[in-house]
Amino acid sequence: MQRIQLTEDLSFSRFIHGLWRLDSWNQTKEETLDLIKYAIEQGITTFDHADIYGKFTCENLFGRALAIEPSLRDKMELVTKCGIVIEAPTRPQHKSHHYNTSKKHIIESVENSLSELHTDYIDVLLIHRPDPFMNPEEVADAFRQLKEAGKVRHFGVSNFKHHQFTMLQSYIDEKLITNQIEISPYQLENIEDGTLNFCLENRITPMAWSPLAGGALFKGTDEKSVRLRDALEKVKAEVGASSIDEVAYAWLLSHPAKIMPIIGSSQKERITRAVRALDYQLTIDQWFEILQSSMGHDVP
């Protein structure tokens, strides 16, 4: 498995396992542990969480599995996110859906995540969404306190545009090491609006959520999905892949930004197919054929 060096003391596996649907997989803690171990066996050592996933249940489900075999913690990198507030049975204090990036909320969220995940530290904490009411001085204070306490090693953001990233970075002493954004052959917004170029400019390696467009590549009936599926099928035959998801992942992996796709599946075969994408190197013609099928027209 390829690894991406984010800092001198931290690297991620090129593929990341995403746990945002863990509550819907209906697994026993032993089954979740088995899936974690399978991912690690494939070289996927980085696991992505957020406090709100499963209405604040997914971290706990993962943590209960990890508690069976605590030594696995040393073989993985844990990412989690905070800053979104939603109503949930386990959070009666939450009265509405909003954002909260106050120092108090960030620190409380991390304390909860540490407890739920059965770990003493988070490798990377992300602010989940840009907050229009954000006080960056409070965020910086929270990050500094968590770092000094050894509770979080590094920090980043999720879904930030370049102006939001640079604003927050200007208040923080250490580098924000990643931006988790939506990128797929179907969803080109962060390519077209310069977000990916900003990552390249600033040597920020992005994580890609929904790299298969939430299944639209397989079952979407709109014209764009159909065009893309045809292009992916064509390239699949050319490179000898066994499925179009391998080609979609290879398309992301080919980009010079060193995109790290998040696999959000409980199915071992889907994880295996994702890893196989590392074996395919698309030609520039194939890469642009997929891009233009998504755009619906040739590049200028």
Catalytic residues: 53
**In a 3-state reduction of DSSP, which class is residue 11?**
strand
- Using CA atoms, how far apart are residues 237 and 43, in angstroms rounded to an integer? 27
CA distances from 46 to 12, 83, 298 (A): 6, 21, 37
Beta strands at 152-158 and 16-18: parallel, antiparallel or unpaired = unpaired
Instruction: Say which amino acid occupies 19.
Output: L
Q: Which two tokens stand for residue 184?
A: 């797929």
Q: Is 19 within 8 Å of 210 (Cβ atoms)?
A: no
Q: Determine contact, residues 283/216, Cβ cutoff 8 Å.
A: no
**What is the CA angle 190-193-195, rounded to 5?**
55
Distance CA 208, CA 181 (A): 5
Contact present, 25 and 266 (Cβ < 8 Å) = yes
Residue count of the chain, please give it. Answer: 300
The radius of gyration of the chain's CA atoms, rounded to the nearest angstrom, is 19
Contact 36, 92 (CB under 8 A): no
The alpha carbon dihedral of 52, 66, 8, 197 has a sign of negative
Judge whether 21 and 264 are in contact, CB under 8 Å.
yes
